[in-house]
Amino acid sequence: MPLGFRRTSRDTRGDEAARRGTERGPAPERTPDRAVVLGEVEELGIGMFWATDANGNLSFLSQRALADLGSGSDTLIGKPLTNVFGDIDEEAGGPTQRSLAFKIKARSRLDEQIVAVPDSRGNKRWWRLNGRPLLDAKGEFQGYRGSAVDISAQYAYETQVARASQVDELTGLANRRKLGERLSAMLSAFRISRRSGALMMLDLDRFKQVNDTMGHPAGDELLKQVAQRLTSIVGNHGEVGRLGGDEFQVLLPDMDDRGTLGELANRIVQSVSQPYHINGRRAIIGTSVGIAVAPYDGLEADELTSAADMALYRAKETRSGTFCFFTSQLRDAASKSALLGDRLRDAVDNDELKLAYQPLVDPVTNEVKCFEALLRWHDEEEGDISPAQFIPVAENDDLIIRIGEMALKQACMDALAWPETIRVAVNVSAKQFIRPGYRKAVAAALQASGLAPGRLELEITESVFVGDLETVDAIFRDLKKLGVRLALDDFGTGYSSLGYLKHGHFDKIKIDQSFVRGCTENGDINPAIIAAIVALARALGMETVAEGVEAMDELDLVRERGADLVQGYIFSRPITQDQVLEVFREGSAKFRPSGPPRHRAERITIFRKVGLIHEDHYYDVILRNLSKTGARITGLAGVPVGTDVVLDLGHGQLVVSKVVNASENSQGLKFETPLISDGSGGFMTRHRISPYSLAEAGIPLAALGPGAFPLAKWREANKSDPKFVQLELSVPGR
């Protein structure tokens, strides 16, 4: 064998080693460096790493993370971690989680914590952090060690989806779902912190008319403009949302002053009622508002929502374009309204509704110039039922159409028997006015009776000026062609009156009684308003009527301010047709004024069981009448004049009072602080005693009754002897 191919003993050993290696498998590779692996994880985009020192300052951030954030990101090292990473905006649809600062301070684990990270270009990125607190052998905190993943694309999409589920697409307001969540969360938190909050429910009057006459795109644009107005008025005091359709809701945390709430509701009504410009056309709508306040009117979201709904229904019943607060009595009223509707239909079928006539009198000569036809209903079981009760029920049904046509025909027939110089005024509902064919109904009534058109006055409230104004103007023009007179009723209380006077449709303006009542009180601005309305009417060639005059001083004032006619109890209550004819048979068409010399604060006659607190005793009394400044009660004897007491009107309404006059079993009270209007013809306290305060006094909330919080009987322990004699109570009709 050639020398070059000779194997040496060394070569033989190498072959043996190779043989053994082949038998055992490949030799183990060297373990990769840990830092290299972490770097590769970063490069692959799987994750990034960060660390803090014991003081919470960022001490390490992966190179990949620094590169992603852009130039200048290296300056983040050494800054507090909470300055580098910000919390997400939960309001924008982000997930609910504890704040990063809270967890860092508590040295808690960070599990899937989503944070906002600004980059050098001014954009915001979102990272998901995981981290653990690091402790040394002695258990001393050394800082955090953690990882991060950039989830910006995923987070932006999920946030957009979440926000879409909580925002009304048309208006950008909170939607029903979000409002429900916010209300529940607010009430839950407020129960713990014993805070209060209010809920307003509102819907739009005559929105459907705009939709029907101007089209759905116009309706959508109108809703957007309404949303803008509501947001502007409420501002940072609360949150406005749209429930759907033409329904909106306002959440008002930490607000229970019913005076302030009433003022806000009134501003909402006035603002929403101003004209809208849509595609070159003008439209007017209105709104009604129902208000409920937690915890007085409900402790849970469904309770408070139901209360606000009932208040809204009452506001619409009372008069569109107003507001109403919830009271516990509204629950009973809601069920009574349903029963009343059935009875009213029977009454119309049986011709039980009659007309009465109230004179409109010249305040200088006392001569009657016109009679207003007013509906009256006497039910065999219930007795006389006020129009304030049954007209709103009829308005919610087409029943008002039948009632209106009946009243128009009967009034024309009755007026034919009067002297030719005397006119008759008939009220027209908004639903009746805008109904197709109304002009024909008026013409038919005139033709059937033979009454001259100039003797018929149609009294129209400002609520007709909602919806498509072109349609409304066309109806006015058609009626004027018939030769009838038009009167604007309740002037100054509704929707943008001045804009319609210039069209020349009206022959008469009726100054609402709200401007007349109390106009003689010191500092009242109503006399100036009355004078301004009279001056405006004269400039436009219109007649004026002052409504609701009851006292001689009010009569003197409206006469001095130049009102052409006066209507009110000062001259006469409504009388029957037979009584009207008797006046004319006597040969005199004059009504002499008769009434109290001075205006008294408006009082409501009422018979209701309430409470009276004196020292440490609680007495039961009957509330007989109520005004803003005082009340009369019965049920106690031996109460001297000058006694300080607290009147419990129920529902947490406590009124500090003083006895100013007294008889054997009746006392007159004067209130330390006047009551305010509840928006629907009643009175209420501006503030209420929280049920939480009552509970602190030893009265459990469960004992206060569902949705109502009357002051419960005071505990008997350590009481002094009662100073007054409790009499047996009897409430009329019970």
Q: Is residue 394 part of a domain?
A: yes
- Give 320's strand partners: none
- The predicted pLDDT at position 100 comes to 87
**What gap in Å lies between CA 636 and CA 658, rounded to an integer?**
15
Nearest Cα neighbor of 340 from 379, 313, 310 is 379
Domain count for the chain: 4
In a domain, 7, yes or no: no
Q: Same structural domain for residues 319 and 459? A: no
Paired residues of 488 in beta bridges: 460, 509
Mapped onto helix, strand or coil, the DSSP state of residue 33 is coil
CATH number, domain of 297, equals 3.30.70.270
- 588-609 pLDDT, tens digit per residue, is 789 999 988 887 666 667 778 8
Determine the Cα–Cα distance for residues 674 and 688; give it in Å rounded to an integer. 14
Residue 19 included in any domain: no
69's torsion region: left (phi>0), alpha (psi -120 to 50) or beta? alpha
Tokens (6 digits) for 267? 């501003």
DSSP 302-341: HHHHHHHHHHHHHHHHH-SS-EEE--THHHHHHHHHHHHH
| 372 and 231 within one domain | no
- Same domain? 133 vs 90: yes
Phi first, then psi, for residue 68 (nearest 5°) are -65, -35
Per-residue pLDDT at 705? 41
Which residue type occupies 704? L
CATH of the domain at 540: 3.20.20.450
Does one domain contain both 356 and 499?
yes
User: In angstroms, how far is CA 460 from the centroid of its own chain?
Assistant: 27
What is the spatial distance between Cα 122 and Cα 345, in angstroms, rounded to a whole number? 69
Spell out the residues 6+ positions from residue 579 whose beta carbon is closer than 8 angstroms to its own: none
Place of tokens 């019965």: 634
Q: Is 206 helix (H, G, I), strand (E, B) or coil?
A: coil
> What pLDDT, on a 0 to 100 scale, did the predictor assign at position 503?
67
Write out the two tokens for 67.
Answer: 């590169």
Rounded CA gap, 296 and 687, in Å? 11
Alpha-carbon distances of 70 from 66, 67, 122, 404, rounded to whole Å? 6, 5, 10, 76
In a domain, 202, yes or no: yes
Do residue 362 and residue 466 come from a single domain? yes
Long-range CB contacts (within 8 A, 24+) of 296-303:
296/196, 296/256, 296/651, 296/652, 296/688, 296/690, 296/691, 296/709, 297/326, 297/707, 298/707, 299/187, 299/191, 299/701, 300/184, 300/187, 301/180, 301/183, 301/184, 301/187, 303/707
What SS3 class is residue 430?
A: helix
360 and 472 inside one domain: yes
Q: How far apart are CA 592 and CA 83, in angstroms?
A: 83
- DSSP H stretches of helix in 25-109: 34-43, 63-69, 81-84, 100-106
Lookup: tokens for 273? 């009622």
Please check whether residues 351 and 230 belong to one and the same domain.
no
In a domain, 594, yes or no: no
Query: Same domain, yes or no, for 344 and 279?
Result: no
- In sequence order, which residues have a C-beta less than 8 Å from that of residue 502 and are 6 or more positions away? 540
Cα–Cα distance between 317 and 194 in angstroms, integer?
Answer: 34
Tokens at residue 394, please? 């009829």
Q: Which two tokens stand for residue 666?
A: 């009746």
Residue 598 is assigned to a structural domain of this protein:
no
Is residue 597 situated within a structural domain? no
Res 32: pLDDT = 62
Domain boundary among 125, 160, 195: 160
Give me the DSSP letters along 458-524: EEEEGGGS-EEHHHHHHHHHHHHHHT-EEEEEEETSSS-THHHHTTT--SEEEEPHHHHTTTTSTT-
User: In one letter, which amino acid is 162?
Assistant: A
* Same domain flag for 96 and 241: no
Beta carbons within 8 Å of 119's beta carbon, 6+ residues apart:
68, 69, 70, 73, 125
Q: What angle do CA 75, 88, 134 make, to 5 degrees?
A: 60
Q: Indicate if 530 and 390 belong to the same structural domain.
A: yes
21-75 pLDDT, tens digit each: 444 445 455 556 666 766 676 666 567 889 999 999 999 988 878 887 876 667 8
- The pTM (predicted TM-score) of the whole model is 0.59
Please indicate, yes or no, whether residues 322 and 358 belong to a single structural domain of this protein. Answer: no
Per 3-state DSSP, what percentage of the chain is helix, strand, and coil (rounded to 5)?
40, 30, 35
- The ranges of the chain with pLDDT < 50 are 1-25, 27, 495-496, 699-718, 733-734
CA angle 626, 604, 592 (to 5 degrees): 125
Q: How far is CA 685 from CA 298, 649, 654, 688, in A?
A: 18, 9, 8, 7
Look at residue 589 in the predicted model and tell me its pLDDT: 86
- Do 611 and 572 have their domain in common? no
Q: Torsions phi, psi of 83, nearest 5?
A: -85, -25
> Does residue 15 belong to any structural domain of this protein?
no
| Pairwise CA distance, residues 607 & 507, whole Å | 42
* Angstrom distance (rounded) from CA 208 to CA 687: 37
Tokens 């803008």, located at residue: 228
Encoded tokens for 161: 């989806």
* Residue 101 buriedness (CB in 10 A; 0-12 / 13-18 / 19+): middle
Q: Which of 327, 362, 377 is the last residue of a domain?
A: 327
CATH number at residue 108: 3.30.450.20
Domain's final residue, options 295, 311, 327? 327
Amino acid at 629: T
Range of 672's domain? 603-726
Looking up residue 652, the CATH number of its domain turns out to be 2.40.10
Question: Which pLDDT score is estimated for 93?
Answer: 53
The answer to whether the CB of 685 falls within 8 A of the CB of 254 is no
DSSP for 94-137? PPP---HHHHHHHT--EEEEEEEEE-TTS-EEEEEEEEEEEE-T
pLDDT for the residue 385: 86
